[in-house]
Structure 1
Amino acid sequence: MRIRSDILVSALTRRVFADGGYAAVVRKGADASGAIFVRQRFRDGLETLFGPAPQAMIETEARDDRLFEERLSRAEPEAVADVIAREMKFDSDLWLVEIEVDAIGTYLDLAPTAK
């Protein structure tokens, strides 16, 4: 069974705060199944954007898990905002969470990258 979006977002923000980072829910989406986007901000002003991994990247036995992929890496804030705006036109029920941590670590389960 797939974990609800509101529960995953709540757990993420609590973990970030517990580790001394900062997290904020910028946009609240559908409680049960809204897509979750995470905007990671760095001290140098750059940002990384994580979004849901395409279902094709997820193995069939793991389809209940929420996997993320890196959409933009250490990009200018304007570029990240543009991607988020496009996603919001497509999906009005998405969640947007901003975090300020140096490394994403184990906060998100990332889909395997192609080698």
Structure 2
Amino acid sequence: RLKADIWVKAYIRRCQVEGADAVLARRGDADAGAIYIKIARLDGTATVFGPAPAGLDVEREDRRWVPALATPWAPEPDCDAFLARQVDFDPDIWIVAVDDRQGRHFLDDWLATGA
């Protein structure tokens, strides 16, 4: 399993290559911090992907993600409040912020099945 800092750098680069603006919004534990990804469509709405719960895609050892919110798109302040609660719960998390008008997340290969 890749260390969190290496995975985040590679993901940000992939987003940028695809034409999206991606930045590290919060640095977490370099080795094993949980990674959250906020996708903002630049229209006031956003969504968040978080680590898949244990047990999903157990045959895969790499990192997996699931939508973290009950709705596909929410007001961006609601997403920010959700992420702030996650930081309060676990100060070692990473947050990557992606701005993409089309709402692309670039996580197709890493989405957990069975979510």
With normalisation by structure 1, the TM-score equals 0.88
Consecutive unaligned residues of structure 1, counting only runs of 5 or more, are none
Runs of 4+ in 1 over 6 A off after TM superposition: none
Number of residues of Structure 1 aligned to a counterpart in Structure 2: 111
The corresponding residue for 2:93 is 94
Q: CA deviation at 1:106?
A: 4.1
Q: Which string of whole-angstrom CA distances, capped at 9 and with x for unpartnered residues, describes residues 12-66 of structure 1? A: 111111111100101000111010000000032200100000012232x31x210
Equivalent position SS for 1:37: strand
- After TM superposition, the structure 1 = structure 2 runs for residues 24-43 of structure 1, keeping only pairs within 5 Å, are 24-43=23-42
> Residue in 1 aligned with 2:19?
20
Aligned to 2:65: 68
Deviations 1:48-103 (A, max 9, x none): 100000012232x31x2100000122101121122111111111000000002222
Could you say which residue in structure 1 is the equivalent of 2:80?
81
Alignment CA distance shift 1:107-1:24 (3 Å): farther
TM-score, structure 2 as length reference: 0.88
User: For residues 68 and 106 of structure 1, do their structure 2 counterparts lie closer, same or farther at Cα, with a shift above 3 Å needed?
Assistant: closer
Give the Cα–Cα distance (whole angstroms) in 2 for the partners of residues 24 and 94 of structure 1. Answer: 15
The Cα RMSD (Å) is 1.5
Distance 1:23 1:95, change over 3 A: same
Cα distance in 1 between the residues matched to 2:65 and 2:89: 18
Aligned twin of 1:57: 56
Question: Is 1:112 matched with 2:109?
Answer: no
Alignment partners' CA distance in 1, 2:109 and 2:15: 11
